[in-house]
Amino acid sequence: MRYFGYGSNLDLEDLRRYCARRDLALGRFEAVGPAWLPDHALAFHYYSHGRGGGALDVVPARGSAVPGVLFEVDEGARRVLDLKEGAGSRYEVREVTVLREDGSAERAFTYMVLPEFREGRHVEPTTEYVSIVRRGLEAHGMPSEPLDDAAANRRPRPLPDEIFVYGTLKRGHCRAHLLGETLAEEAEIAGELVDLGAYPGLRLAGPGVQPGVVHGELHRTRLLHEGGDLAELLQHLDEVEDFLGWDLLDGSMYHRALVRARAASGTRLAWTYVYRGTEPRPVIEDGVWRGE
Protein backbone atom coordinates (compact mmCIF):
# COMPACT_ATOMS: atom_id res chain seq x y z
CA MET A 1 0.00 0.00 0.00
CA ARG A 2 1.11 3.59 -0.59
CA TYR A 3 1.71 6.11 2.19
CA PHE A 4 2.37 9.84 1.74
CA GLY A 5 4.66 11.31 4.38
CA TYR A 6 5.21 15.04 4.87
CA GLY A 7 6.56 15.42 8.41
CA SER A 8 8.93 13.67 10.78
CA ASN A 9 8.37 10.27 9.14
CA LEU A 10 10.45 11.50 6.21
CA ASP A 11 13.50 11.08 8.43
CA LEU A 12 14.13 7.35 8.59
CA GLU A 13 16.50 7.64 11.55
CA ASP A 14 13.82 9.36 13.63
CA LEU A 15 11.35 6.62 12.73
CA ARG A 16 13.86 3.90 13.59
CA ARG A 17 14.57 5.50 16.97
CA TYR A 18 10.84 5.47 17.70
CA CYS A 19 10.68 1.76 16.87
CA ALA A 20 13.77 0.95 18.94
CA ARG A 21 12.40 2.69 22.05
CA ARG A 22 9.25 0.55 21.85
CA ASP A 23 10.81 -2.66 20.57
CA LEU A 24 8.78 -2.50 17.34
CA ALA A 25 9.63 -4.02 13.96
CA LEU A 26 9.13 -1.37 11.29
CA GLY A 27 8.42 -3.76 8.43
CA ARG A 28 8.57 -2.68 4.81
CA PHE A 29 8.97 1.08 4.49
CA GLU A 30 10.44 1.86 1.07
CA ALA A 31 10.58 5.25 -0.62
CA VAL A 32 8.92 5.24 -4.04
CA GLY A 33 9.91 8.83 -4.75
CA PRO A 34 9.08 12.49 -4.23
CA ALA A 35 5.41 13.45 -4.35
CA TRP A 36 3.20 16.45 -3.64
CA LEU A 37 -0.16 16.80 -1.89
CA PRO A 38 -2.00 19.30 -4.10
CA ASP A 39 -4.14 22.19 -2.87
CA HIS A 40 -2.85 21.87 0.69
CA ALA A 41 -0.33 23.68 2.87
CA LEU A 42 1.61 22.84 6.02
CA ALA A 43 0.39 24.18 9.36
CA PHE A 44 1.47 24.08 13.00
CA HIS A 45 -1.75 24.19 15.02
CA TYR A 46 -1.37 20.99 17.04
CA TYR A 47 0.62 20.59 20.25
CA SER A 48 2.55 17.33 20.50
CA HIS A 49 3.49 16.34 24.06
CA GLY A 50 6.01 13.89 22.65
CA ARG A 51 7.75 16.65 20.67
CA GLY A 52 7.29 19.38 23.27
CA GLY A 53 5.87 21.80 20.71
CA GLY A 54 3.97 22.07 17.48
CA ALA A 55 3.75 19.12 15.09
CA LEU A 56 2.79 19.31 11.46
CA ASP A 57 -0.63 19.05 9.89
CA VAL A 58 -1.88 19.80 6.37
CA VAL A 59 -4.78 22.12 5.60
CA PRO A 60 -6.65 22.99 2.37
CA ALA A 61 -4.96 25.74 0.32
CA ARG A 62 -5.77 25.83 -3.39
CA GLY A 63 -2.73 26.54 -5.52
CA SER A 64 -0.20 25.31 -2.97
CA ALA A 65 1.24 21.81 -2.79
CA VAL A 66 2.87 20.09 0.17
CA PRO A 67 6.23 18.45 -0.60
CA GLY A 68 6.71 14.94 0.70
CA VAL A 69 7.54 11.38 -0.24
CA LEU A 70 5.47 8.44 -1.42
CA PHE A 71 6.33 5.20 0.37
CA GLU A 72 5.40 1.57 -0.22
CA VAL A 73 4.55 0.03 3.16
CA ASP A 74 3.31 -3.32 4.41
CA GLU A 75 0.84 -4.05 7.22
CA GLY A 76 3.63 -4.03 9.80
CA ALA A 77 4.78 -0.55 8.83
CA ARG A 78 1.16 0.62 8.70
CA ARG A 79 0.63 -0.52 12.31
CA VAL A 80 3.77 1.33 13.40
CA LEU A 81 2.66 4.51 11.61
CA ASP A 82 -0.83 4.30 13.12
CA LEU A 83 0.67 3.95 16.59
CA LYS A 84 3.22 6.73 16.11
CA GLU A 85 0.66 9.17 14.70
CA GLY A 86 -2.02 8.33 17.25
CA ALA A 87 -4.45 7.28 14.53
CA GLY A 88 -7.98 7.72 15.81
CA SER A 89 -6.92 9.64 18.90
CA ARG A 90 -4.86 12.59 17.66
CA TYR A 91 -4.57 12.18 13.90
CA GLU A 92 -6.96 10.53 11.47
CA VAL A 93 -6.10 8.43 8.43
CA ARG A 94 -7.15 10.08 5.18
CA GLU A 95 -7.12 8.79 1.61
CA VAL A 96 -5.65 11.46 -0.67
CA THR A 97 -4.47 11.96 -4.24
CA VAL A 98 -0.79 12.85 -4.52
CA LEU A 99 1.06 14.05 -7.60
CA ARG A 100 4.36 12.85 -8.99
CA GLU A 101 6.60 15.17 -11.00
CA ASP A 102 6.01 13.13 -14.17
CA GLY A 103 2.39 14.33 -14.18
CA SER A 104 0.90 11.14 -12.76
CA ALA A 105 -1.56 11.01 -9.86
CA GLU A 106 -1.69 8.26 -7.25
CA ARG A 107 -3.88 7.43 -4.28
CA ALA A 108 -2.25 7.06 -0.89
CA PHE A 109 -3.08 7.33 2.78
CA THR A 110 -1.73 10.03 5.06
CA TYR A 111 -2.47 11.50 8.48
CA MET A 112 -4.26 14.73 9.39
CA VAL A 113 -4.93 16.19 12.84
CA LEU A 114 -8.42 15.55 14.16
CA PRO A 115 -10.44 18.80 14.28
CA GLU A 116 -10.86 18.70 18.07
CA PHE A 117 -7.08 18.78 18.54
CA ARG A 118 -6.42 21.80 16.33
CA GLU A 119 -5.58 24.74 18.56
CA GLY A 120 -7.01 27.43 16.30
CA ARG A 121 -3.72 29.29 16.61
CA HIS A 122 -0.09 28.82 15.67
CA VAL A 123 1.76 26.36 17.92
CA GLU A 124 5.48 26.99 17.69
CA PRO A 125 7.52 23.87 16.93
CA THR A 126 10.85 23.08 18.55
CA THR A 127 14.05 23.65 16.62
CA GLU A 128 14.77 19.92 16.89
CA TYR A 129 11.46 18.94 15.29
CA VAL A 130 11.91 21.36 12.39
CA SER A 131 15.43 20.04 11.86
CA ILE A 132 14.16 16.45 11.71
CA VAL A 133 11.58 17.31 9.06
CA ARG A 134 14.06 19.42 7.08
CA ARG A 135 16.59 16.59 7.13
CA GLY A 136 13.97 14.22 5.74
CA LEU A 137 12.93 16.61 2.98
CA GLU A 138 16.50 17.31 1.92
CA ALA A 139 17.36 13.60 1.91
CA HIS A 140 14.75 13.15 -0.80
CA GLY A 141 15.60 16.31 -2.74
CA MET A 142 12.47 18.19 -1.72
CA PRO A 143 12.29 21.90 -0.86
CA SER A 144 12.07 23.05 2.75
CA GLU A 145 10.66 26.55 2.12
CA PRO A 146 7.05 25.47 2.88
CA LEU A 147 8.27 24.02 6.19
CA ASP A 148 10.08 27.25 7.05
CA ASP A 149 6.99 29.32 6.20
CA ALA A 150 4.79 27.14 8.40
CA ALA A 151 7.27 27.15 11.30
CA ALA A 152 7.43 30.97 11.16
CA ASN A 153 3.63 31.23 10.82
CA ARG A 154 3.94 32.93 7.44
CA ARG A 155 1.19 32.76 4.86
CA PRO A 156 1.91 29.83 2.49
CA ARG A 157 3.28 30.89 -0.87
CA PRO A 158 1.88 29.39 -4.07
CA LEU A 159 3.98 26.36 -4.90
CA PRO A 160 4.50 25.93 -7.73
CA ASP A 161 3.81 29.46 -8.91
CA GLU A 162 3.90 28.81 -12.67
CA ILE A 163 1.52 27.26 -15.20
CA PHE A 164 2.52 25.44 -18.38
CA VAL A 165 -0.02 25.96 -21.18
CA TYR A 166 -0.06 24.37 -24.62
CA GLY A 167 -3.45 25.11 -26.19
CA THR A 168 -6.17 27.73 -26.04
CA LEU A 169 -4.52 29.45 -23.04
CA LYS A 170 -1.44 30.36 -25.09
CA ARG A 171 -0.87 33.97 -26.07
CA GLY A 172 -2.95 34.95 -29.08
CA HIS A 173 -5.57 32.23 -28.56
CA CYS A 174 -9.15 32.38 -27.38
CA ARG A 175 -8.62 31.77 -23.66
CA ALA A 176 -5.34 33.62 -23.16
CA HIS A 177 -7.17 36.44 -21.36
CA LEU A 178 -7.99 34.09 -18.47
CA LEU A 179 -4.35 34.17 -17.34
CA GLY A 180 -4.22 37.96 -17.11
CA GLU A 181 -0.98 39.91 -17.43
CA THR A 182 1.45 37.13 -16.56
CA LEU A 183 5.13 36.89 -17.42
CA ALA A 184 5.50 34.20 -20.08
CA GLU A 185 8.31 32.41 -21.87
CA GLU A 186 8.46 29.54 -24.30
CA ALA A 187 8.92 26.14 -22.69
CA GLU A 188 8.58 22.43 -23.35
CA ILE A 189 7.75 19.23 -21.51
CA ALA A 190 7.95 15.52 -22.30
CA GLY A 191 4.77 13.93 -23.67
CA GLU A 192 2.52 14.12 -26.70
CA LEU A 193 -0.31 16.33 -27.94
CA VAL A 194 -3.46 14.89 -29.46
CA ASP A 195 -5.92 16.79 -31.64
CA LEU A 196 -9.37 17.06 -30.06
CA GLY A 197 -10.74 19.41 -32.70
CA ALA A 198 -11.09 22.91 -31.27
CA TYR A 199 -8.39 22.29 -28.68
CA PRO A 200 -5.56 19.84 -27.92
CA GLY A 201 -5.05 17.28 -25.18
CA LEU A 202 -1.80 16.57 -23.36
CA ARG A 203 -0.83 12.98 -22.71
CA LEU A 204 2.23 12.13 -20.66
CA ALA A 205 4.46 9.09 -20.60
CA GLY A 206 2.55 5.83 -20.33
CA PRO A 207 1.07 2.94 -22.31
CA GLY A 208 0.31 3.96 -25.88
CA VAL A 209 1.89 7.40 -25.54
CA GLN A 210 4.52 8.26 -28.12
CA PRO A 211 7.58 9.76 -26.39
CA GLY A 212 8.15 13.27 -27.64
CA VAL A 213 8.21 16.94 -26.78
CA VAL A 214 5.24 19.25 -26.23
CA HIS A 215 5.89 22.94 -26.87
CA GLY A 216 4.03 25.64 -25.00
CA GLU A 217 4.45 28.55 -22.63
CA LEU A 218 5.41 28.85 -18.99
CA HIS A 219 3.46 31.60 -17.23
CA ARG A 220 4.86 32.98 -14.00
CA THR A 221 2.16 33.97 -11.55
CA ARG A 222 3.98 34.92 -8.35
CA LEU A 223 4.43 38.61 -9.17
CA LEU A 224 0.92 39.14 -10.46
CA HIS A 225 -1.15 36.84 -8.27
CA GLU A 226 0.10 37.60 -4.78
CA GLY A 227 -2.38 37.60 -1.96
CA GLY A 228 -4.27 34.48 -2.95
CA ASP A 229 -5.17 35.38 -6.53
CA LEU A 230 -3.53 32.19 -7.80
CA ALA A 231 -6.12 30.15 -5.92
CA GLU A 232 -8.91 32.05 -7.65
CA LEU A 233 -7.21 31.67 -11.03
CA LEU A 234 -6.74 27.92 -10.63
CA GLN A 235 -10.33 27.49 -9.50
CA HIS A 236 -11.46 29.19 -12.71
CA LEU A 237 -9.08 27.15 -14.86
CA ASP A 238 -10.21 23.92 -13.16
CA GLU A 239 -13.77 24.73 -14.21
CA VAL A 240 -12.75 25.63 -17.76
CA GLU A 241 -10.72 22.42 -18.14
CA ASP A 242 -13.51 20.26 -16.66
CA PHE A 243 -11.39 19.14 -13.73
CA LEU A 244 -13.88 18.11 -11.04
CA GLY A 245 -11.48 17.55 -8.16
CA TRP A 246 -8.97 15.08 -6.80
CA ASP A 247 -11.64 12.64 -5.62
CA LEU A 248 -13.47 12.77 -8.96
CA LEU A 249 -10.65 12.11 -11.42
CA ASP A 250 -12.57 9.43 -13.31
CA GLY A 251 -15.32 11.91 -14.19
CA SER A 252 -12.95 14.70 -15.23
CA MET A 253 -11.93 15.44 -18.81
CA TYR A 254 -8.59 16.87 -17.63
CA HIS A 255 -6.80 16.86 -14.31
CA ARG A 256 -4.40 19.41 -12.92
CA ALA A 257 -0.93 17.92 -12.71
CA LEU A 258 2.67 18.79 -11.89
CA VAL A 259 5.36 18.64 -14.57
CA ARG A 260 8.95 19.73 -15.03
CA ALA A 261 8.93 22.40 -17.74
CA ARG A 262 12.15 23.33 -19.55
CA ALA A 263 12.66 26.97 -20.54
CA ALA A 264 15.65 29.11 -21.47
CA SER A 265 15.78 30.38 -17.89
CA GLY A 266 15.86 26.87 -16.41
CA THR A 267 13.77 23.81 -15.60
CA ARG A 268 11.01 24.36 -13.06
CA LEU A 269 7.99 22.67 -11.56
CA ALA A 270 4.69 23.93 -12.95
CA TRP A 271 0.98 23.21 -12.99
CA THR A 272 -0.57 21.96 -16.20
CA TYR A 273 -3.69 20.09 -17.34
CA VAL A 274 -3.49 16.50 -18.57
CA TYR A 275 -6.10 14.96 -20.86
CA ARG A 276 -7.70 11.88 -19.29
CA GLY A 277 -9.33 10.40 -22.39
CA THR A 278 -7.99 7.04 -23.55
CA GLU A 279 -9.65 6.72 -26.96
CA PRO A 280 -7.44 6.96 -30.08
CA ARG A 281 -6.87 10.55 -31.24
CA PRO A 282 -4.67 12.02 -33.98
CA VAL A 283 -1.25 12.91 -32.63
CA ILE A 284 0.16 16.39 -33.32
CA GLU A 285 3.55 15.15 -34.43
CA ASP A 286 5.64 18.28 -33.86
CA GLY A 287 4.11 18.93 -30.43
CA VAL A 288 2.88 22.40 -31.36
CA TRP A 289 -0.83 23.28 -31.32
CA ARG A 290 -1.53 26.16 -33.68
CA GLY A 291 -5.32 26.33 -33.55
CA GLU A 292 -7.39 27.63 -36.42
Three-class DSSP labels, 143-204: CCHHHHHHHCCCCCCCECCEEEECCCCCCCCCCHHHHCCCEEEEEEEECEEEECCCCEEEEC
User: Do 240 and 125 belong to one domain?
Assistant: no
Q: Residue 273 in contact with residue 202, Cβ under 8 Å?
A: yes
Residues ≥6 apart with Cβ < 8 Å to 207 = none
Residue 222 has a pLDDT of 52
Residue 226 has a pLDDT of 46
Residues ≥6 apart with Cβ < 8 Å to 39 = 60, 61, 62, 63, 64, 65, 246
User: Do 142 and 48 belong to one domain?
Assistant: yes
Show the domain range for 192: 162-284
User: Do 125 and 170 belong to one domain?
Assistant: no
How confident is the chain (292 residues) per 10-residue block, as mean pLDDT? 97 95 94 97 96 96 94 97 94 97 92 96 97 97 96 88 93 87 89 94 78 92 54 90 92 95 94 92 93 72
Phi, psi (5° rounding) for residue 288? -120, 120
User: Do 145 and 270 belong to one domain?
Assistant: no
Residue 66 has a pLDDT of 97
Mark which of 100, 123, 151 sits at the end of a domain.
Answer: 151
User: Do 130 and 88 belong to one domain?
Assistant: yes
Question: Does 292 map to a domain?
Answer: no
Mark which of 151, 175, 191 sits at the end of a domain.
Answer: 151
Residue 207 has a pLDDT of 64
Residue 155 has a pLDDT of 85
User: Do 41 and 134 belong to one domain?
Assistant: yes
Residue 227 has a pLDDT of 46
Residue 228 has a pLDDT of 44
Question: Does 18 map to a domain?
Answer: yes
CATH classification of the domain holding 83: 3.10.490.10
Q: Residue 7 in contact with residue 55, Cβ under 8 Å?
A: yes
Predicted model pTM: 0.91
User: Do 59 and 179 belong to one domain?
Assistant: no
Tell me how many domains the chain contains.
Answer: 2
